[in-house]
Chain A
Amino acid sequence: MLEFLKQPWPWYVGGALIGLSVPILLLLGNKTFGISSSLRHICAACIPAKIPFFTYDWKKEAWNLFFVAGVVGGAMLAANFLRDPEPLVLAESTKTYLAGKGITDTSALLPAEIFSWENVVSLRGFIFFVVGGFCVGFGTRYAGGCTSGHAIMGLSNLQWPSLIATMSFMVGGIVMTWLILPYLLTL
Chain B
Amino acid sequence: MKDANTPLPLVDNDIEQRALDSVCVNGSQLQHPWWYNLKYTAWGLVFGVVFVKTEIISWFRIQEMFRFESFHMYGVIGTAVVVGAISVMLIKRFKARTMHGETIVIHPKEFNKGQIYGGLIFGLGWAITGACPGPLFAQMGAGFGAISITFLFAVVGTWVYGLLRERLPH
Contacts and interface: CB of A to CB of B under 8 A. Distances in A.
Interface of A: 5, 8-40, 42-43, 47, 49, 51-57, 60-64, 66-79, 82, 84, 88, 90-91, 93-94, 97-98, 106, 108-111, 114-117, 119-120, 125, 127-162, 164-178, 180-181, 184
A142 B161 contact: yes
Interface residues of B, number: 134
Contacts of A159: 108-109
Contacts of B132: 35-36, 136, 140, 146-148
Nearest to A79: B142
B123 A74 contact: no
Contacts of B82: 15, 19
Nearest to A22: B84
B124 A139 contact: yes
21 contacts: A8-B55, A9-B53, A17-B47, A27-B99, A33-B24, A53-B162, A62-B34, A71-B134, A74-B141, A76-B142, A78-B48, A94-B63, A97-B67, A109-B139, A115-B146, A137-B159, A138-B157, A141-B162, A149-B24, A165-B115, A177-B127
A82 B14 CA distance: 43
B96 interface: yes
Given A30-B98, A143-B114, A176 B128 contact: yes
Interface string B117-138: 1111111111111111110111
B79 A16 contact: yes
Contacts of A132: 125, 128-129, 150, 153
A142 B113 CA distance: 9
A79 B23 CA distance: 30
Given A29-B99, A61-B18, A70 B41 contact: yes
Nearest to B146: A117
Looking at A27, A74, A173, the one whose CB has the most chain B CB atoms below 10 A away is A74
A6 B132 CA distance: 24
Main secondary structure of the interface of A (DSSP, over half): helix
Contacts of A93: 67, 69
Interface string B75-99: 1111111111101101100001011
Nearest to A130: B153
Contact of A31 (B27, B71, B83): B27
B20 A53 contact: yes
Contact of A174 (B66, B111, B125): B66
B122 A169 contact: yes
Contacts of B144: 108-110, 115
B80 A76 contact: no
Contact of B44 (A32, A34, A71, A158): A71
Contacts of B157: 39, 133-139, 141
